[in-house]
Amino acid sequence: MVFAFASIELVGTAAGECKDPETMVPKAINSVIWRIGLFYVGSVVLLVLLLPWNAYQAGQSPFVTFFSKLGVPYIGSVMNIVVLTAALSSLNSGLYSTGRILRSMSMGGSAPKFMSKMSRHHVPYAGILATLGVYVVGVFLNYLVPSQVFEIVLNVASLGIIASWGFIVVCQMRLRKAIKEGKAAKVSFRMPGAPFTSWLTLLFLFSVLVLMAFDYPNGTYTIGSIPLLAVLLVAGWFGVRKRVHEIHSTAPTLRK
């Protein structure tokens, strides 16, 4: 479920390349909400209305089940094309976002310096190549454990997605606090119901992690790896904190 909603956070990543982010970002975020309601929730409701709920089976696409009942030929092949197209779109968005995020981290001192390199067309090719290297690891996993690779990638990606959403909410809460203290400028596009909705979102994300822990074995192992990931992140921070502080000490201060 979490994986299905992945990449909606890329609206914020793409904001850096908008000509008028103050106008375009709110429109993009609001349109995402309506699209989820229309294409995801709407399609689920429609499928339930068209066929009894027990007509759908685990392991088979509900769309394949529905169109097969109508006698539509080659629907399985058509759905495979749709899934592959969606996967390619996801990979493309991953390359776009990760390359730019790694460049931003490099400029802030928390990633290797070569990650900030850009091509003459302003493409962060170093970060994109590093991302492609991770994609290659997925190919090798497909040869090593073909029956489990999908679940492994799904759980690891979901953990990263939840972490991204969680940090976004935490950053929003810290920004709200900074605005109250007069350390940051006020923003025109605010989170409705904050700070209550912020805490509610964090609680929901934590509950998803708890549910993942009961998805044995891959989900359990993924959640079990969180302490190790935390240790690696802390070790990484101690490795780059000196450079981060040096860069931030020379950066201009954000004024109201």
d(CA 159, CA 153): 10
d(CA 118, CA 109): 16
Residue 256: predicted pLDDT: 42
Residue 253: predicted pLDDT: 53
Nearest 5 degrees, angle CA 202-CA 102-CA 3? 40
Residue 197: predicted pLDDT: 94
User: Residue 154 pLDDT more than 90?
Assistant: no
Residue 165 token pair: 């959403």
d(CA 57, CA 98): 36
User: Residue 255 pLDDT more than 50?
Assistant: no
Residue 254: predicted pLDDT: 47
Q: What is the mean pLDDT of residues 53-71?
A: 80
Q: What is the mean pLDDT of residues 11-35?
A: 80
User: Residue 169 pLDDT more than 50?
Assistant: yes
For 79-112, what is each residue's pLDDT tens digit? 888 878 877 887 888 888 888 889 989 998 888 8
For 5-20, what is each residue's pLDDT tens digit? 777 777 777 777 778 8
User: Residue 48 pLDDT more than 70?
Assistant: yes
- The 10 Å Cβ neighbour count of residue 187 is 12
